[in-house]
Amino acid sequence: DAKTTQPPSMDCAEGRAANLPCNHSTISGNEYVYWYRQIHSQGPQYIIHGLKNNETNEMASLIITEDRKSSTLILPHATLRDTAVYYCIVREGGNEKLTFGTGTRLTIIP
């Protein structure tokens, strides 16, 4: 699976959109981009995934660049409960394994 690079930490004001970047320049054509988050002391929680089109669900939006070498997770109206470590993971379709990196620690500021 391709390697991902994320900033170690970010802050965002409550109520604003949180934009979390991820670089995956070595991604191959059959690899998906997944986002998980881990709120303190809890198990990781799935947020969203995509292959090449932008995706949106009730939690977030995922914007993948046309060359697929980077992506951005957008939390449209961040709340204090969104404070967590966010993991960007590249995973080949049909491959069961998830490889977690160090993620981005997002802190929502009141």
Partner 1 sequence: DAGVIQSPRHEVTEMGQEVTLRCKPISGHNSLFWYRQTMMRGLELLIYFNNNVPIDDSGMPEDRFSAKMPNASFSTLKIQPSEPRDSAVYFCASTLAGGVDTQYFGPGTRLTVL
Give, as ranges, the residues between 71 and 90 that touch partner 1 (CB under 8 A).
87
C-beta closer to partner 1: residue 81 or 97: 97
Instruction: Count the neighbouring beta carbons within 10 Å of the beta carbon of residue 91.
Output: 18
Biggest CA pair distance of the chain: 41
At its nearest, how many Å lie between partner 1 and the CB of residue 14? 26
Q: Which of 8, 40, 66, 93 touches partner 1 (CB under 8 A)?
A: 93
Contact residues toward partner 1 (CB under 8 A) are 32, 34, 38, 41-46, 49, 87, 91, 93-94, 96-102
